[in-house]
Amino acid sequence: MYNDIKRRLEARINSVPRFDIARVAASDADAERDTGRMTAHATSELERQVGDMYADPDASEAAGPPHDAIRQFGGMRTRRQLTEHFVERLSVDAGSPKTAFDFTVPTGSRVFGPPYDREWAEGNGLAFLSRFDGRVTTIPKANGLSTAGVGFYLTTNTPALAAITPQGTYDWNWLSFADLPSARSRGGLGLTIYTDSDPQPTLSRQVVLWSASGMTVFSGQQGSGRIADAASPAFGFGPVPLAPALLNMVPGSRYLVWVWCWQTSQLGPDDAFIAFLRFAMPLITIDAGPPIIIH
């Protein structure tokens, strides 16, 4: 009897389909193409936001008192002193201890972490050696955009629907040291997936973490959370989280997944304003099931 029970259990276990999603080695020959596609996509997406920010100086700014020598450069008197202040502040933030991240891995989930396959930055993004620890940072660029991210390749030997979830934390803050009524600042996170050599993304999402318009002296905001839970409010549907990203995968294709952060700014080169956005992604979880087929 027990042998029969064993055989029946083995047959039942073996009848359950298995979906093998794996990392695939990156090719150095594709590095320029991969980062170039991401640069073009992020620039296209975010330049629209930069364009939306432009506005003539507010009437209140034009009517306000002129900046005197005491308030110049946010009260730091010189550009060098203001720069030194920002460098010191950001160095303390960047060198702070890693945030504890507690996570329970669901049964059946596939988990992997660094080293990732690609790192990428534009503008004033910082991604040096980020593929080894999953940590990236952005600071503002005057009248422009800054981005930074890490990427990894996936493949499968059976058709599957993959739920890809970046696991980790983000934090951000911005602070103005002067009255800047015409300044604008936004920042957020993104998740973008490419298939093989297709120049257009198979899937791309961006969420906004903050959007500030006009700052007063010593005003600021800050926030933090889990990468997967980051969300922008969507009209009529409530918040839409960044992850999980659902991807129909097929054998023979290679998928490049980017997780990235971004900032857009309308600022003067000497505006006494700083914004800091970073994330740490120690691991990725993937859950797989039968593909979705729409007839």
Q: What is the pLDDT of residues 265-282, one digit of tens each?
A: 998 878 888 899 999 999
Could you give the 3-state DSSP secondary structure of residue 229?
A: helix
Locate 162 and state its tokens.
């993959």
Helices (H), the chain: 2-15, 31-53, 59-63, 79-94, 130-133
Locate 150 and state its tokens.
């890490």
Q: What is the pLDDT of residues 244-257, one digit of tens each?
A: 999 999 999 999 99
Residues 6+ apart with CB under 8 A from 294: none
AA identity, residue 289: G
As a whole number, mean pLDDT of residues 254-264 equals 96
pLDDT above 90 as % of the chain: 43
Q: What pTM was computed for the model?
A: 0.80
Q: What is the pLDDT of residues 176-204, one digit of tens each?
A: 988 998 899 999 999 999 999 899 999 99
Q: What is the pLDDT of residues 90-119, one digit of tens each?
A: 565 555 555 555 555 555 578 888 999 999
